[in-house]
Amino acid sequence: MKIAYFDCFSGISGDMVLGALLDVGVPGEFLLDMLRKIPVAGYSIRTAREQRGLITGTRVQIEIDEQPHRSFRDIQGLIRGSKLEENIQERVLGVFENLARAESHVHQVPVSEVHFHEVGAVDSILDVAGAVIGLDYLGVERIHSSPLPVGRGFVKTHHGLLPLPAPATVVLLRGIPIYGTEIERELVTPTGAAILASLAGDYGPIPEMTLLCSGYGVGSDPASDPPNLLRVLLGTAESSFEYRHLLMLETNIDDMNPEFYGYVLEKLFALGVLDASLTPIQMKKNRPGVILSVLIEPTMQTQVLDLILKETTTLGVRIQEVRRAELKRENEMIQTSYGLCEAKRVFLPGGKQRVVPEYESCKKIAEEHQVPIREVYEEVLLLARKR
Domains of the chain: 2-239 (no CATH), 243-326 (3.30.70.1380), 329-386 (3.10.20.300)
pLDDT, mean of residues 14-31? 97
CB atoms within 10 A of CB 20: 30
Report the pLDDT value the prediction gives residue 273, as an integer from 0 to 100: 95
pLDDT, mean of residues 4-8? 98
Report the pLDDT value the prediction gives residue 240, as an integer from 0 to 100: 65
Which stretches within 81-120 are classed as H helix?
86-107
Per-residue pLDDT band for 133 (boundaries 50, 70, 90) equals very high
Closest CA to 277 of 303, 250, 313, 244: 250
> For residues 313 and 132, what is the distance between their CA atoms, to the nearest angstrom?
45
User: Rg (Cα) of the chain, in Å, rounded?
Assistant: 24
Report the pLDDT value the prediction gives residue 348, as an integer from 0 to 100: 82
Mean pLDDT for all residues in the chain: 91
377 CB contacts (<8 Å, ≥6 apart)? 357, 362
Q: What is the end-to-end Cα distance of the chain in Å, rounded?
A: 24
Q: Which of 63-67, 251-255, 328-332 has the highest mean pLDDT?
A: 251-255
Query: Chain-centre distance of CA 342, in angstroms?
Result: 26
- DSSP secondary structure, 198-257, as one string: HH--EESSPPS-EEEEEEEEE-S-TT-SS-SEEEEEEEE---SEEEEEEEEEEEEESSS-
Per-residue pLDDT band for 118 (boundaries 50, 70, 90) equals low
pLDDT, mean of residues 30-53? 94
pLDDT, mean of residues 285-312? 94
Give the chain's largest Cα–Cα span.
Answer: 74
Query: Chain-centre distance of CA 116, in angstroms?
Result: 21
Lowest average pLDDT, out of 133-147, 149-163, 275-289, 305-319, goes to: 149-163
- % of the chain with per-residue pLDDT over 90: 67
> For residues 89 and 168, what is the distance between their CA atoms, to the nearest angstrom?
23
